[in-house]
Structure 1
Amino acid sequence: MPTLLERTKTYQRFPPERVIGTMSLEEWTAYLESSKHKSHYICGEVVEVAGASPEHNLVAMNMALALRNSLDAQDAQDADCDVLGSDQKVYVAPELYYFPDLCVVCGEWKVDLHDALQNPCVIVEVLSPSTEADDRTDKFREYQQIASLRHYILIDQSRVAVTHFKKLAQGLWAIVGDFRALDDTLKITLGTATVEVTLTQVYRRVAFPETT
């Protein structure tokens, strides 16, 4: 079976320096315990998670805090949800595991034998120049295999830009919000509760590079 690098000669999904090699799922699980860096598991190939800038980390932390505060303000019983950070690996499909920047799970957790969450309802990725194309295409298509997933949110770390995808009837996904102003509000429906996060909260204390 061709390796990930051999399959991507015309379209290189990941930089070669991030492709660690081929492992079994059990070997990868053991490798994670001793490695200093997180890595994704993609059909037998182990790919190191791209490094994050301070802006990336700040945006992710802001989003996590805003989600948690908004959830805590809800009275609805089915808003019993948890916000998990980038150390939580997620089961996408057999032989396919990722570490998203943030995810939300509501109700009882479902976790496989590799400590991977199986039922996130929200996944958030903070975009960087090296990961944006993949987050918008291949990875998004793979995430759509998660039956419980209802919301996929992409946040740009270098400008005010948040895109909200939502799963509709018949499994179709659509953009339900494409925000470009700090006074915009992201609304996420979880059961009967609606979580609201302003972009001012998301980009709190983020210094954007000067543009012309």
Structure 2
Amino acid sequence: MDPQPKPRMTVDEFLVWCETAPGRHELVKGEVIAMAPERVRHAEAKLAVVDALRHGLRAAGVPCRAMPDGMTVRIDSHTAFEPDALVYCGPRLDPDAVEVPAPVVVVEVLSPGTRRTDTGIKLAAYVRLPSVAHDLVIDAQERLVLHHRRGAEAIETRIAREGTLRLDPPGFAVAVEDLLPEP
């Protein structure tokens, strides 16, 4: 006997549902996906990323904001992700907003359970968004950053273990070592 198919949701329905649902979730092609509890390494890496992004934005005087996880990025009407960090530019969002409509930088920190998703369907989805100029994938264990940057005609990828990443647009730089948690 076939199990009943799971009901599919739109992103709008999902965002309403999330307001009362326990835990953290993402929506992929209308299906709710529960996010696993995170490990200390993952939490420390996310904290390092947000700190580095905020410092870089402040130092450059760029009118953008770095946000930690918890904010939703809508990919299409049936898919929405919650990156580990992001940067958006322009006016400050409504304090009650749960969605960032036009992120410029999205960041995913790899964990054992998310490695394939973060470097596969999420990367492909984020680069579909015209606002996303940079997708950073942080590998805290290997101590490297995969920097996917929107070029004039293609997505350009750099694997960085040291040095500085220039995130233009929006116009700031961040040291690779600052994006990684302390060893």
Partners of 1:89 and 1:117 within 8 A in 2: yes
Return the offset for 1:190: 2.5
Identity of aligned residues (%): 23
Partners of 1:151 and 1:165 within 8 A in 2: yes
Change (3 A) 1:158 1:98: same
Counterpart in the other structure of 1:84: 67
Total equivalences in the alignment = 179
Aligned to 1:160, which of 135, 143, 167?
Answer: 143
Aligned to 2:155, which of 152, 166, 173?
Answer: 173
Return the offset for 1:109: 6.0
Q: TM-score, normalised by structure 2?
A: 0.86
Counterpart in the other structure of 2:58: 72
Q: TM-score, normalised by structure 1?
A: 0.75
SS of residue matched to 2:22: coil
Change (3 A) 1:152 1:30: same
Aligned to 1:202, which of 175, 179, 183?
Answer: 179
Distance 2:80 2:7 in 1: 14
Counterpart in the other structure of 1:15: none
Q: Deviations over 1:97-117 (max 9, x none)?
A: 110101100113678xx8421
Counterpart in the other structure of 2:42: 56
Partners of 2:145 and 2:159 within 8 A in 1: yes
1:184 counterpart letter in structure 2: G
Consecutive unaligned residues in structure 1, runs of 5 or more:
7-20, 207-212
Return the offset for 1:136: 1.0
Consecutive unaligned residues in structure 2, runs of 5 or more:
none
Q: Which has the higher contact order (CA 8 A, sep 6+)?
A: 2
Cα root mean square deviation, aligned: 2.5
Distance 1:160 1:115 in 2: 31
Distance 1:97 1:139 in 2: 10
Distance 1:49 1:179 in 2: 27
